[in-house]
Structure 1
């Protein structure tokens, strides 16, 4: 049982078994994993990650969700990156990182984004990183596979021993690092592991709470997607980023980021995580945030992992 700092709520990280809570491995060699020795003997599914929502859309404009680039996000401790993909409007053979539409916000080709992450993984051998991609234009999975392969990052990609992998059967971070397979990849729609075995179907593994929230108190942790899903046997993604409605258009609430991304207090990461834990019996596996350099997201991550 883990206590969420600043609340009276106990968060049960794993109720299935003691092995799921912490499963030491004889093959673990890294002294630290994702910056902490405690993570080396924890299964991937028994860790809470603060994730960067729309991680590639960096800048001061209303449609941009982050202040610092991908390398800086990784350097500060973010290990879960979410990003939207679409077909390029210039070359339909290229998968581009675009916010809703490539005419609104275009952060460049997916291949370049993956190359940046690969270079960071090359330089940081004791780190496990996760990518969650959206597939707004229903691009065939083989095109994603080709892009990953051409970037060179697919050599790092973890392939589950079965699909879908049970929530209790994920390897420890130490095992993933020892094996060299320390990139986990999910796609929201269109995954097919019979064609590309290292890109997993997000909703075979996760549920998500609602996005587009405009209530700064984040009073809800109901399952929004997949429709009709139960939490049992799934990891949980909490969309903890605040929007404001401007003439019917929702844009990121940049001015509220320090409060939204606080570790504790009303409307904080810790407060919504405690709400979710009360409903489902365990802390969220992922909390997605905008403007990850604001507030105190790394302290929130440590709190939720009992560090």
Structure 2
């Protein structure tokens, strides 16, 4: 009888071994799926790592093949076709899009996990409807500004100021000053006709007398007050009503639309059946059978405990090997892509879908690989201990301790198979400067998008602005280095002197001199200006506080200030202390040739604000002269063809490299920015200058950073490195 039992155990051992191997591999697969495909965080990370939201605006929606769809989507909004893509972020800003996507991801993954039996994908349109009002205001401002094309003498200047005032009114902000000009009767009629273009047809006749009389008498405020509210409110009301009518209210039920289109959700319903079976039946059964099979292998093994340990080790290692082979097979099967998109799809859409699919598969297989390594390591440990036990005469292990070791290692391996993929799938990747790839890169090894004359903005009403959004918006748009100019408000005798050395043309210098004393009297304190404070200025202390607030709200970013300093170093240090930034200031190594720390180290230290000066060098340890640490290219290029890489300030042997990449023609050139700020143009010049200098470019300084794709070029540079 006993011999028969022994023979039966021997026959069952291969079966138990196979069951154990298969169950271990199944546990690895189900744990991987639960921590990746069934985890909302996994899908959100894939979207973020592939910059899906930015690519939607910067690539997909400006793709010529996508424009017909984009126009159709926004056909009911008060936006002309030419302004569709430029105004899209007003209607659907990135943060709103992200919130919508996160909600759908959570709904789908919850459905697949069996948390609810029905699938309901919905979009809350209330943020969109609110944003439509902003779009209507912008549209109204653009229309009013278009009257600047009038050819009458002195009339264009008047209408230019009128357009600025109209923009302010449309945005709900009292204009800082209203234009004045004694208009002829014909000019008043022309201005009235232009302004009335923005109001509904049925309101024009009623408003015309009021607007015309106001303009005829020079009362611009009354004319704007009559026109602005009518234009904004009517367009907003009609747009929101059309959107609500299309989707049946403030909530759009996507599921209902998809279910009526050839059952587009059928694959998702089938996937739920599989995941429900895997989680509810397969995974618990595999865990039970796996433990039972391993226990049977132990109790039915050879009399020597060492050989039993080795048997369990080979089973776990085989399970890890099987998991690894499945990973290899899956990688080979997905080499040519994961999702086949129709040939009719625009190239930008196909590339985005392919990148998202590839990134998701890579994440799943990487997590499965972690599980395979755990099994292999546990199996190798048991085999090594068993082998050492059988071959090493000095090694003595009691049988009871061998059993405890076997149970402990096997249990840890199975637990690791289940829990490690969860940890690998859910752990947030460390991000530095917006990327998980830059944390271990030195500050002097990365590229940073740099805003030239960052304070000189359209938003802050500078004369001849070189950027459009204000500084916080620039940081939100990916800028990580700001070139700023510090000044005290100039006395009358200083104005002419500064203007002579400025980039303004002689004619513009004369116009500024004639106007500044009348409209912009001197002010106390320290300011950020561009050549002449009376041509545009923002307070230095409030702006520094703004930068500090942004840094504290973004704890994984480093920001650099390159200061053209017309303010003394001691006064500057006091201003940074007044702004409450001393805890953020990074002190560079006194030796400029010393390597810079990794971004991760800087972020961990909390010292994430680097400040350079063009003139000063101390006395504060954090306030160093840029040209001791960095070099640059020239900056006075009048055409794109003039751009070179020849040495300028800072020589040729510094660790930091500033590329001045903008055109100056009596000030900034918005038109040329459309050429030099393209991704290809930036990359071509960076690569050329890097080859010529033998050093990586660290700061790519541009004007009008929202034109072109300089940010995409900088991201590509960091990916290359």
TM-score scaled by length of structure 2: 0.35
Contact 2:631 2:653 in 1 (8 A): no
Structure 1 residue 218: deviation in Å?
4.6
Structure 1 residue 211: deviation in Å?
1.2
**Counterpart Cα distance in 2 of 1:80 and 1:113:** 14
**Counterpart Cα distance in 2 of 1:91 and 1:196:** 27
1:143 pairs with one of 559, 564, 571: 571
Q: How many residues align?
A: 260
1:222 matched residue in structure 2: 646
Structure 2: unaligned runs, 5 residues or longer = 1-427, 491-521
Structure 2 residue 547 is the aligned partner of structure 1 residue 131: no
Moved more, 206-215 or 110-119: 206-215
2:432 pairs with one of 9, 33, 40: 33
1:240 matched residue in structure 2: 661
1:11 matched residue in structure 2: none
2:602 pairs with one of 176, 190, 193: 176
Structure 2 residue 688 is the aligned partner of structure 1 residue 289: no
1:197 matched residue in structure 2: 621
Q: Structure 1 residues 296 and 218, CA, compared in 2 at 3 Å: closer, same or farther?
A: farther
Tell me which protein shows more strand as a share of its residues.
1
The structure with higher relative contact order (CA 8 Å, sep 6+) is: 1
2:611 matched residue in structure 1: 185
Moved more, 36-45 or 275-284: 275-284
**Counterpart Cα distance in 1 of 2:597 and 2:684:** 29
Contact 1:112 1:151 in 2 (8 A): yes
The structure with the largest alpha-carbon Rg is 2
Deviation string, structure 1 residues 24-59 (Cα, Å, up to 9, x no partner): xxxxx9800011011100000001111000001111
Structure 1 residue 140: deviation in Å?
2.0
**Counterpart Cα distance in 1 of 2:470 and 2:533:** 19
Note the 1:65-214 alignment, pairs <5 A.
Answer: 65-89=466-490, 90=522, 94-106=525-537, 108-135=538-565, 137=566, 139-160=567-588, 162-167=589-594, 169-192=595-618, 195-214=619-638
1:5 matched residue in structure 2: none
**Counterpart Cα distance in 1 of 2:673 and 2:578:** 36
2:672 matched residue in structure 1: 256
Q: Structure 1 residues 85 and 30, CA, compared in 2 at 3 Å: closer, same or farther?
A: farther
User: Any idea what SS the aligned residue of 1:103 has?
Assistant: helix
User: Any idea what SS the aligned residue of 1:153 has?
Assistant: coil
Contact 2:444 2:655 in 1 (8 A): no
Structure 1 residue 255: deviation in Å?
1.7
Structure 1 residue 272: deviation in Å?
1.3
TM-score scaled by length of structure 1: 0.80
Contact 1:237 1:284 in 2 (8 A): yes
**Counterpart Cα distance in 2 of 1:219 and 1:290:** 14
Tell me which protein shows more helix as a share of its residues.
2
Structure 2 residue 449 is the aligned partner of structure 1 residue 50: yes
User: Any idea what SS the aligned residue of 2:439 has?
Assistant: helix
Structure 1 residue 222: deviation in Å?
0.7
User: Any idea what SS the aligned residue of 1:270 has?
Assistant: helix
Q: Structure 1 residues 104 and 164, CA, compared in 2 at 3 Å: closer, same or farther?
A: farther
Structure 1: unaligned runs, 5 residues or longer = 1-28, 245-249
1:15 matched residue in structure 2: none
**Counterpart Cα distance in 1 of 2:585 and 2:579:** 12
**Counterpart Cα distance in 1 of 2:429 and 2:523:** 43
Contact 1:218 1:240 in 2 (8 A): no
